[in-house]
A and B are shown apart, each in its own frame.
Chain A
């Protein structure tokens, strides 16, 4: 069956360091992969989309990589700040449904001042 894996344990890092979050998937060949941020008591907010033919994408301090051979995406936040503390979710489209995505459980990031 199709599966998305994110490290469900919280990630604690020191302010100023680079945070790296992992999203692994099995039995997928997704056309794209998305990353969302979710703050407590709020809905997820879209951050980045990377397509299968793109190896890397950047947006300000964010960088996403997509390795279709390893079936893995890495999400990096450089020069992390306490305001980056949130839960980060990856999402992939199920086969046969381009708009229908499945979300990972999310990884909670805590940036310590």
Chain B
């Protein structure tokens, strides 16, 4: 298995632009998590899905952020419009029943 796949690996955009981050979880996993990591705040959970259904989005910072999981093998995190304070590394992770989470390589987002 290739593990959790994220794209793009790096994204540089200008303030106000729409950003879409993509994630392919490990096949067979039924839970998917989106995290954001910064030096100041560490790793923060934004939203997680179970069986493609959003279970908890209380970590989504504001309405500019949205996430979807149209099927078991794909999820997106969208920021519209993006702001400089959104600059961070965004991780996707997946798991199956047990508590171990498998993380992707992350997307480093820079908003100018």
A-side residues, CB < 8 A to B, are: 32, 34, 41-46, 49, 89, 93, 97-106
Contact = CB atoms under 8 A, between A and B. Distances in A.
Contacts of B50: 99
Interface of B: 4, 31, 35, 42-45, 48, 50, 55-56, 91, 93, 95, 99-106
A102 to B, nearest CB: 7
B21 to A, nearest CB: 14
B103 A43 contact: yes
B42 A99 contact: no
A105 B100 CA distance: 18
A43 B93 contact: yes
A61 to B, nearest CB: 19
A106 B102 CA distance: 17
A106 B99 contact: no
B99 A34 contact: yes
Given A32-B99, A43-B93, A44-B43, A100 B106 contact: no
Contacts of B105: 42-43
Nearest to A33: B99
A99 B106 CA distance: 20
A25 to B, nearest CB: 14
Nearest to B39: A105
What 10 pairs across the A-B complex have the smallest Cβ distances?
A43-B103, A103-B43, A105-B42, A46-B100, A44-B103, A43-B91, A43-B106, A43-B104, A49-B99, A43-B105
A30 B36 CA distance: 23
A42 B106 contact: yes
B60 to A, nearest CB: 13
Contacts of A101: 45, 99, 101
A104 B35 CA distance: 13
A1 B102 CA distance: 28
Contacts of A102: 45
Nearest to A43: B103
Contacts of A103: 35, 42-44
